[in-house]
Chain A
């Protein structure tokens, strides 16, 4: 009996320490990301999302990588192909997690990628949508540092375009950094606040 109990405990113990396929997969994807292997990272997130059809995180990350990779592209064909793919991932994420502020601000980031490419073509319809998206995200999660930072950055872009001071948004960025440092992540692989990047944005704001 003791032996059986022992074996059972061993089994449970290994069950705890042994990582699930999901965890290994996600960790591997993040390590690809850190190494700058964007294509591999994105593809792995895509595969995980197909294997975990009810989890919003893998498709959220797959979308984020595609969006970040589209900034600076000169060829509209590539841009459109990448962002269309990103939109599919985001739609997938949305279907698993409604009114999620992280997904809402990523949608705004996707729109910004279009606007940054051709403001005349996409700006008229998408900039209004972005204002809406940030307002919605702020309503749901007024203390979410990523939402605060995204909103402040968006406003800074608009202020710069109109030749206005970006100073009013510095406070919001400071608040975001403060909240970001305090933030406790409860769900595994939940998006983290990038303090370093926020500090860079703060510098731009004050300059």
Chain B
């Protein structure tokens, strides 16, 4: 018995003596020692930290094969499995973590907003606190460089491109009719409320192969995954009101909101240049249902319905009683998306959207009634092989059916329309060679049914970090887009329009400070042209093709320029500001242009200055925005040439003031174009010359120079703390 015990003791003793020393040195890739790295045998208590020389040494009683782990913040964790006896005098180089905030990002052409972005140009609150934006996502984006201020239009004009060259997506799924229809020279807004989104990616060129059917730009909005809490939101505004409610139960949540806007009372009190037969009114409702499954997979269903109605007599030199414009639009949009992770670092994202849009327009005595049904289906797979290498690929299918009926005064009726199905596939890879050098290479293939045309678009971008705070990027891509519905409805014997982008970008970031400058060259080919002799019709973009127009794809053009962005926060206490400048040189021969010319929607110089200041003692945030755009072209028929003159410069100063009455009640006041500058967007010329042989003209101006807005926002929630600031 004793012997056995003795033996046992000896063995235990012996095992205590059987110790192994694990040692080595840890450096970064440039052989600088890493101090304070955590070194240990996985699953044991044995380990230590590296010293000033990056060296480590510790004793273990473990035997046989073990896993040595070396981890340090902002480096990739090093793992090595070997017999303990061999884990001696190691030299380990830790690789930089390419996911860390200071790693290179592929960013040529792209602006990101939201907390998930590495470099945020806009913050979520900016959309709602930018003075000139009046709570519109698109309005806030128009203060970024690369966009042209077309204040009478409101849509996004990117780098010399027409508004239709920029596509809008929600969770990667296409929005076919993103803008509320409005009469001429009345700015439109996005249909969707800004507080549904938590992230924005706005690309002004050179974007990923995932996105197609856009010649100039892509805007991808990401909806909120999970609302924070149940709440009810009430808003009362000078223009109408809104009501919202969010419910959460288990893994489900439902947000509903409805709003009604009527410009009637406002135009009663502040009459403007137009005569309203029936005031602009719009009613809209949105619903978002979200369901989270166990493993972070998620289903979202988003539905929006809106109804817009207006009937107006617009002041027009060619119509003594005014130009009658009546419009009635009904729009339904449903977007559902599902994402999930599976297998070994695979991710699937799939989605489906459906749009039904019906517009009845009355222009003078003609009635036009059109109906669009469109569907987009998309599947995307992504595989992450390591943090340095990943691929993604997918396919999508677009179906569009468009029908229009045209009833001129004499009871005649013309029916026309088109069907278009488009199939596309894309594949893309992201490679990080190091923390300082990364590339993204992709290709996209598309096939359109109406033209039986097959296109291939290569895309590539490269980023190199030139210093601790700076990086340089290049991007190149080919882009195709089907001709617009307005052309396709009359003629399907057309092929896709094409653009190629070349972009060079330099970015310098410091905490609370961003500077970026980007130069680009864009080449347009196969743009659609049509004949319509009415080229004196002043603003050539208002000239529309007719059913007997002849069409071809012989248009072409270019756009080149430089965009500069600077943002600084808190350098001046409680103050945040940014400055954007864009220089644009563009000419194109498209539509009914007799020759290549700078289109009316492009201005050579655009400047935006946005500032915000929080006044603690007043519990208020005050904001201001200044927008400048150099003159835009128009055709003066009294002189020879096409688009031969330029308007005066555009200037607008907007201010806003948000006062927090308490944590849940906010009073908001904004004034657009506070100085009442009389801006001119172009001229309408009389169709017939006067007695002296000259054409008289009338300036195209906004229907009111200055616009003010007052709103009261009240949030009711259990915690009595959230507020509606994000709805403004």
Please report the C-alpha to C-alpha distance between residue A148 and residue B38 in the assembled complex, in whole angstroms.
35
From the candidates A21, A43, A162, name the one contacting B49 in the complex (CB within 8 A): A43
Q: A125-B198, A163-B616 known; A50 and B42 CB under 8 Å?
A: yes
Please report the C-alpha to C-alpha distance between residue A25 and residue B47 in the assembled complex, in whole angstroms.
11
Convert A111-147 into 0s and 1s, putting 1 for each residue whose CB lies closer than 8 angstroms to a CB of B.
Answer: 0001000001111110111011001000000000000
From the candidates A76, A85, A129, name the one contacting B511 in the complex (CB within 8 A): A76
Q: A7-B5, A50-B43, A162-B619 known; A39 and B36 CB under 8 Å?
A: yes
Please report the C-alpha to C-alpha distance between residue A50 and residue B100 in the assembled complex, in whole angstroms.
23
A12 at the interface (CB under 8 A from B): no
Q: How many whole Å from B233's CB to the nearest CB in chain A?
A: 13
B228 at the interface (CB under 8 A from A): yes
Residues of A within 8 A of B83 (CB): none
A43 touches B47 (CB 8 A): yes
Residues of B within 8 A of A94 (CB): none
A120 touches B1 (CB 8 A): no
Task: Report the contact-size class of chain A (Cβ under 8 Å from the partner).
Answer: 35 or more
Main secondary structure of the interface of A (DSSP, over half): helix
B721 touches A76 (CB 8 A): no
Q: A125-B124, A135-B719, A163-B616 known; A77 and B100 CB under 8 Å?
A: yes
Q: A50-B42, A120-B123 known; A77 and B102 CB under 8 Å?
A: yes
B229 at the interface (CB under 8 A from A): yes
A80 at the interface (CB under 8 A from B): yes
* A–B complex contacts, Cβ < 8 Å, 10 sampled: A43-B38, A50-B43, A81-B97, A81-B101, A121-B120, A121-B123, A123-B125, A128-B229, A158-B721, A162-B663
Q: A51-B44, A81-B74, A85-B73 known; A125 and B115 CB under 8 Å?
A: yes
Q: How many whole Å from A201's CB to the nearest CB in chain B?
A: 19
A162 touches B662 (CB 8 A): yes
A174 at the interface (CB under 8 A from B): no
From the candidates A75, A80, A132, name the one contacting B228 in the complex (CB within 8 A): A132
Q: A51-B45, A124-B124, A162-B619 known; A129 and B73 CB under 8 Å?
A: no
Residues of B within 8 A of A25 (CB): 45
A153 at the interface (CB under 8 A from B): no
Please report the C-alpha to C-alpha distance between residue A21 and residue B47 in the assembled complex, in whole angstroms.
13
What residues make up the interface of A, taking CB atoms closer than 8 Å to B?
Answer: 3-4, 7, 21, 25, 39-40, 43-44, 46-48, 50-51, 53, 74-78, 80-82, 85, 114, 120-125, 127-129, 131-132, 135, 158, 162-164
B228 touches A128 (CB 8 A): yes
Q: How many whole Å from B61's CB to the nearest CB in chain A?
A: 10
Q: A120-B576, A121-B115, A129-B228 known; A81 and B49 CB under 8 Å?
A: no
B36 touches A80 (CB 8 A): no
A131 touches B125 (CB 8 A): no
Residues of B within 8 A of A76 (CB): 101, 511
The total of Cβ contacts below 8 Å across the A-B interface reads 96
Residues of A within 8 A of B228 (CB): 125, 128-129, 131-132
Residues of B within 8 A of A124 (CB): 123-125, 725-726
What residues make up the interface of B, taking CB atoms closer than 8 Å to A?
Answer: 1, 5, 36, 38, 40, 42-47, 49, 69, 71, 73-74, 97, 100-102, 115, 120, 123-125, 198, 228-229, 511, 569, 576, 616-617, 619, 660, 662-663, 718-719, 721-722, 725-726
Q: How many whole Å from B364's CB to the nearest CB in chain A?
A: 47
Residues of B within 8 A of A158 (CB): 663, 721
Q: How many whole Å from A45's CB to the nearest CB in chain B?
A: 10
B726 touches A80 (CB 8 A): no
B660 touches A162 (CB 8 A): yes
Q: A40-B49, A135-B718 known; A120 and B125 CB under 8 Å?
A: yes
Residues of A within 8 A of B115 (CB): 114, 121-122, 125
Highest count of chain B CB atoms <10 Å: which of A40, A43, A82, A164: A43
Please report the C-alpha to C-alpha distance between residue A77 and residue B73 in the assembled complex, in whole angstroms.
10
Q: How many whole Å from A57's CB to the nearest CB in chain B?
A: 15
Q: How many whole Å from B368's CB to the nearest CB in chain A?
A: 43
Q: How many whole Å from B471's CB to the nearest CB in chain A?
A: 14
Residues of B within 8 A of A74 (CB): 511
Q: A7-B5, A80-B100, A125-B115 known; A163 and B124 CB under 8 Å?
A: no
Please report the C-alpha to C-alpha distance between residue A78 and residue B198 in the assembled complex, in whole angstroms.
24
B73 touches A48 (CB 8 A): no
Q: Contacts A46-B38, A50-B69, A77-B74 known; list 10 others, CB within 8 Å.
A: A4-B1, A43-B47, A76-B511, A80-B101, A81-B100, A114-B115, A120-B576, A124-B725, A125-B198, A158-B663
Residues of A within 8 A of B36 (CB): 39
A21 touches B229 (CB 8 A): no
From the candidates B101, B120, B569, B721, name the one contacting A77 in the complex (CB within 8 A): B101
Residues of A within 8 A of B663 (CB): 158, 162
Q: A21-B45, A74-B511, A129-B228 known; A81 and B718 CB under 8 Å?
A: no
Q: How many whole Å from A70's CB to the nearest CB in chain B?
A: 11
Residues of A within 8 A of B124 (CB): 121, 124-125
Q: How many whole Å from B382's CB to the nearest CB in chain A?
A: 20
Please report the C-alpha to C-alpha distance between residue A53 and residue B45 in the assembled complex, in whole angstroms.
12
Residues of B within 8 A of A3 (CB): 1
Residues of A within 8 A of B47 (CB): 43-44, 47
A82 touches B73 (CB 8 A): yes
Please report the C-alpha to C-alpha distance between residue A44 and residue B42 in the assembled complex, in whole angstroms.
12
Residues of A within 8 A of B38 (CB): 43, 46-47
Residues of A within 8 A of B101 (CB): 76-77, 80-81
Residues of B within 8 A of A53 (CB): 43
Q: How many whole Å from B156's CB to the nearest CB in chain A?
A: 24
Residues of B within 8 A of A7 (CB): 5
Residues of B within 8 A of A47 (CB): 38, 40, 44-47
Q: A85-B73, A120-B123 known; A163 and B619 CB under 8 Å?
A: yes
Highest count of chain B CB atoms <10 Å: which of A3, A78, A121: A121
From the candidates A48, A123, A127, name the one contacting B45 in the complex (CB within 8 A): A48
Highest count of chain B CB atoms <10 Å: which of A51, A78, A127: A51
Please report the C-alpha to C-alpha distance between residue A129 and residue B721 in the assembled complex, in whole angstroms.
11
Residues of B within 8 A of A77 (CB): 74, 100-102
Q: How many whole Å from B27's CB to the nearest CB in chain A?
A: 18
Residues of A within 8 A of B726 (CB): 124
Please report the C-alpha to C-alpha distance between residue A32 and residue B43 in the assembled complex, in whole angstroms.
21
From the candidates A40, A46, A51, A81, name the one contacting B43 in the complex (CB within 8 A): A51
Please report the C-alpha to C-alpha distance between residue A127 and residue B663 in the assembled complex, in whole angstroms.
12
Q: How many whole Å from A182's CB to the nearest CB in chain B?
A: 28
Q: How many whole Å from A137's CB to the nearest CB in chain B?
A: 13
Residues of A within 8 A of B43 (CB): 50-51, 53
Residues of B within 8 A of A127 (CB): 721-722
A132 touches B229 (CB 8 A): yes
Residues of B within 8 A of A43 (CB): 38, 40, 47, 49
- Of chain A, the residue at the smallest CB distance from B39 is A43
Q: A43-B47, A77-B100 known; A50 and B40 CB under 8 Å?
A: yes
Residues of A within 8 A of B721 (CB): 127, 131, 158
Residues of B within 8 A of A123 (CB): 125
Residues of A within 8 A of B46 (CB): 47
Please report the C-alpha to C-alpha distance between residue A104 and residue B100 in the assembled complex, in whole angstroms.
26
Please report the C-alpha to C-alpha distance between residue A43 and residue B617 in the assembled complex, in whole angstroms.
45
Q: How many whole Å from A86's CB to the nearest CB in chain B?
A: 10
Q: How many whole Å from B114's CB to the nearest CB in chain A?
A: 9
Please report the C-alpha to C-alpha distance between residue A50 and residue B77 in the assembled complex, in whole angstroms.
14
From the candidates B49, B569, B616, B619, name the one contacting A39 in the complex (CB within 8 A): B49
- Of chain B, the residue at the smallest CB distance from A43 is B38
Highest count of chain A CB atoms <10 Å: which of B198, B229, B619, B721: B721
Residues of B within 8 A of A135 (CB): 718-719
Q: How many whole Å from B100's CB to the nearest CB in chain A?
A: 6
Residues of A within 8 A of B40 (CB): 43, 46-47, 50
